[in-house]
Structure 1
Amino acid sequence: MNRIGIYLRVSTEEQAKILEGSLVSQRRRAEEYIDGQNRREPNWGTIVDVYCDEAKSGKDMNRPEFQRLLSDIRVGRINLVLASELSRLSRSIKDFCGLLDFFKEHKVKLVTLREQFDTTTAAGELMMFNLVNFNQFERKQTGERITANFTSRAERGLWNGGVIPLGYKRNPENPGSLLIDETDADSVKIIFKIFLEIKNLRQTCLKLNDLGIRTKSYINGKGESKGGNKFTVASLYHLLTNATFIGMREINKKRGDVRQVKASWQSIIEVKDFAAVQNILESNRRRFKPDEWKTYPYPLTGKVICGECGKHLNGKSAHGKIQKHFYYDHARTLNMAGVAKHKCQVQRVRAMKFEDLVLSSLKQILARPELMAKAIEAYENANNKELPLIESRIKTIAEDIKVNEKKAQNIIQRIEELPSELSAELFYKRLTEINKKTQELKAGLLELESQKRKSSQSSVSESSLKARVEYAIKHLSEAPKEKHREVFDNAIQFAEIHATKLRLGVYGGYSNLKDSKVHPIEGSTTIKNGGGCEIRTRVTLLV
């Protein structure tokens, strides 16, 4: 019997909001097709789940429900994917090729209602790829038409949409123009005046926030209230460099080759004041950020963790009297008033010094085999204790899902038997609650099954761990600093720093290592799809 996953998708929120629109039509056609197949061939297939992406483009695979479908395929829940047409799955030939290989790898069949291709034959596969190519062409051509239209409107000084700057409001009679909001316009004038006096972004932020001046408040397309926040250096810089305030329309600002044309709205700030602000900002940039200073690569980004608060330390820099200093620090050390936000003993660590410490710690692991043996033993003990608990939890949740599904079936049966003059609203409400709970349980079950695979498939040996550490030491010692990140990514999951010790999470499996002398350890698994993900064993070493 086929275990079917129905995939539905529409590209815009407007399509998703139509009660009897495309999503409903796609689902009904799929269900009718399955019913017809089951009449011709008893027990042909049953629907396991429906995966619905609302307002998601098919240009890539970054769609939550689509990724959930792929996860269910990996664990064996689905062996047939049913969609109304190929363009629902993907409009990218590159992604589709990888998707088709993924289906073949997991022995999953693909059925589309419109095309009805047979992918088991060379001719059917060729026709399918050609159609996907045309879908990609159509998507790109549509994008080019929209871009050309937006550029044409911008050349005429018209507003193309987006968040309206502080000091302006939408013109109800002409969507391509803006009207001055007198109240907010006064705030814009005050902001420019204060900056011209202080000549410093951070100090200007503090002054504006003390005065109660906030960023633009607006309601987005979903009806949610946005903005109205305190000014930050980034938001203030964006406002001060926005030529909208002098009645100019900027074109290609994001691409760098920016041009300005006369806008269809009036100015709030005088040109001479705007030019004076730009000169101050440029002067500050040259003073504090000389062009000859290069950006530091921060190879341990995302791996450095504070041992006290558990938060990641991010790459930052500071300007000394002689040179620029690079370090790893908490995401925000000071609030807007300049008061420290955390009291951890480890405030910040110099980047190069800490990276050298990690390298010397790896060398120390090789010099002290007892550290490695102790860490492997602790890892295996934890793994052995964890697996029975995970299996027990999986069994409990699976039983809860069956109970909920039975409850849902009973409610559906009662609704069908209910007299037409009586309202079924309470039944529908209860059915919605049960279905929601069932979906939560299924999501939890998938997570537990993933943990079980990691626990059962992962293993590590002293020789393989030693080989990985040796590989990392060799390449960290020989490669330039900008190449260190990929070495750390393959060797270390985290580097947790305390006041007097360092904890390293070192992978025991191998992925993408180019040293021909290195062999993957038994039980290490790599699963690749789209961007790729990995299951790798990890042991924690205390140095």
Structure 2
Amino acid sequence: MKRQEGNEKVVLYCRVSTDEQAKEGVSLDEQRTRLKAYCVAMGWKVEAEEIIDDGYSAKDMDRPGLKRLISQVESGTVSRVLVTKLDRLSRRLLDLLTLIDVFAHHEVSFVSTSESFDTETPSGRLTLQVLGAVAEFERERIRERVVDNMVHAAKSGKWLTQHPYGYRLVEKQLVVHDSEADVVKRVYDMFLNQGMGYFAIAKQLNEEGLSSRQGKQWSNRSVKLMLTNPVYKGTLAWNRTDSSKKKRKTKEEGEWIMIPNALPVIINKEIWDKVNEKISGKPQIPPRAKSSPHLLGGLLKCGKCGSSMSICWSGWPKRHRVYRCSAYKNYGTCDSKPYRADKVEGWFIEGLKNLVDSVDQTIREVVISQVHDQNVQKQEQKLRNAKGRYERKVEAYTAGLIELSDLMEEKRRFDEEIGRSGELQGSFDEDAVNKVLAGLRERYTSFSESVGVLPIPELKKLLHIIVSKVVLLRDSDIEISLVI
């Protein structure tokens, strides 16, 4: 709703965060006094309402007072919004510009008394964008210093958050809690050796009356988090996720802090690695399996429990090769039967041929999705680079090293990169998809022409280029995962 004629109410917005309470010049009383004096000096004989956010940070817009302010602006009952400093309203440029856009749409001017500008003027709007960038830059610098301190603590082996299940925290050091550690070992055994999935494990623990670290029932998610947490193999992992926004996002691996052998071990590293290979579906094929004289050695998985299937010998007096589930052979925990190796390899070759022949119909959508994701990742990297260049220009402008026109030119380039990112969301790169599909057919052709010609170890090198995993479900029923 546009502002109604005759509504001349001025809102005085004041905010302090907890860590600013003791700082000179930012107290709520000080802000009120300055804003009221400004109204008197400007001769505004109008109604003035105070909206206060006491103890709230300006890192986001989740503040009760700010929400009430926006609601009043949108209702058309406000003519001006006053603050003592720009960062009282927001320290994030994106949030700040969003608020200014809301004010402009409802014909409400925004005034900062310390910076002496009014958004009703073009120079005021330009200054606002520059100061907003500086305010956001200062906040990021503060955050970097905090993160640096936490990185130092993490590298010294100190635990920085709540203790995980199986441990207790004593003077910022993890110590093993024996009874919970036994449960952790059982969970890993149930998943790796007993063929139980997340749901079955959670159900078993709940039926036994065991509770999670938070005292709640176990769920699929809590079981998976336990199975994938590197703390249990003694590795300290920190800074893997960005929690600065509402939606947590995994950071790039180069930013992770991973310190092996820094914590008490509950799960042997070899067992932890096997569990996570099984979870990821991308096992690291041992060198011995790569050079074995059996075509599917290191690739074939049991359809019943997910364990690897290895070669055994059967029959007398004429012996023949069979693929048998290693969980049955080593632990007796799977009832999968043995399969003749020559038949399994025949089913596989036929299935691979049919899969690649029908590649356009079968996996085209998968390829489209993957190509799109790769393009998005590239554009996100370009956007991060553009943001970095812009922030460096903000720093240079703040230090007086460049002119305002240089900063605004960099801002224009940054905005263009943001626009390209938005355009990419709905785009479709037909040429890139066709190139991937053509490469897939070419790799299969090379493999199929080599069957019966090259020795098995050489043939497997070609096979590992196009196939990541093979699951034997039942007679002549095979699931093949391609490397796309």
- TM-score, with structure 1 as normaliser: 0.43
Larger radius of gyration: 2
- TM-score, with structure 2 as normaliser: 0.48
